[in-house]
Structure 1
Amino acid sequence: MQTIANSTETDRTITRCLGTLDAIEQVAKIASNLNQKNMAYMDIKATNFLRRASQLITADTKSVVRTNKDNLVDVSDISTTFEPPEYRFGVEKTVDAGAYMAYQIGLMAYDLMVSTEEHNAQDTILDNLQKRASLDFNLPIFKTLEGEHIKEFITTILDPDPHCRPPLDVIIGKAQALKILYGNEIEEPLEENMHSDNQSERPFVFGSLKTIKNCQESFKQFKYLYKETIQTKDQEEPLLTSVQYK
């Protein structure tokens, strides 16, 4: 019984890690696509996204701003919840859009890893940002092998020096690589159970896979497709070009 319980907990941990990595990858792609259009999304957080089918979408158009030729954004143009250190405590009048969005993606990932129905990590994150305190990575979720990998990934993204944070394309690649690694860990038990005579084990395995496909369904608030968001922005400002998670 203890072995079964441990296996169940391991699969839940992997499911949460996969969901977090999927969110990191998709949001980083949104950020990267915007950046290539000389724009940036400056209020990245879990509650600003909705999962529709297999895609994350948002309609928070007020947080989409222009970047200059050096990919910088004027701080006076930014309205945000989770403030990277260079924005909250910096003295410069501009911030690098890519590094800024990367930091917020790291905070979002931490939120998705540790939040539960009973505990909303966003309040803790805000408090720590205001105090310039480190996030707590000593939680049980980060003590597993998968959690340790995610911890290392997040802490790299959350480097206080914006120049030391990985670029968005590197974040996307790392998330994809870890998803493949953890996906294989789920698929191997599935193959074993497909040949098992114990029918009672099968629903759990298939249930785990279903959960992975629907992981991080808690994104909420916004109602339009991401493409529609940018198209609406284009109609308001003709110079812009359309761009196409428990």
Structure 2
Amino acid sequence: MREPSYLDCGNGRRIAYHQTAGKTPGVVFLGGFKSDMEGTKAIWLQDWAKAQGRAFLRLDYSGHGQSSGVFEEGCISEWAEDARAVIEACCEGPQVLVGSSMGGWISAILAREIPQKIAGIVGIAAAPDFTEDSMWGNFSTAQRAELIGEGRVALPSEYGEPYIITRRLIEDGREHLVLRDPLDFPFPVRLLQGTADADVDLSVALRLLDHATGDDIRLTLVKGADHRFSTPECLTLIGESVEQVIAAAS
């Protein structure tokens, strides 16, 4: 496995990333909660971009993968800062952001903060505001009390060890919600959602589609696809969606 490059941020965090050169607009893959840049979608998209001769970048947020930091100490604003820092430091011109799950939320945050650096967005099972709507909103009274009193609560995960959810994560997430205030996408957007996704409900995709404003926003539903969205058919659809965004943005 090729060693990553690193960006030393002024905030003390060291962010690992892989970048390949190519034509613009480039493509940036933003992964999900507690995932890393070695996942199926990230690697497939890198190979796809290379075959297209297109610039590509994937990264690990702090506390994820090969970047510095401890996952349990991180929060949404810091992970968005990590993505923004790498994009601004390493990418030439506007980029197409491909945001998977939490990466879809981070893409929306960056659409507010640096719209001039975004050529378009492809959201894969995008999960905006999930710390409030999916986590806090579904906590039991006992879990909320534990989170407030102890500062953390453990949630079971089908992906491995339990997720440790911190009070800081929940409170920081509340400061960066994107479905409560205006959310403008002044560039082409393609949202992809599986109907068998057990982690991000279909209603989230519909809410995002209804809430966001923009002249070119489309939602594609894939019957039977789960949250991983990594079957050969789903991966092909991701590539086609990026192509659509690039064509519409040019």
TM-score after normalising by structure 1:
0.28
Q: Which has the higher strand share?
A: 2
- Rg comparison, structure with higher value: 1
TM-score after normalising by structure 2:
0.28
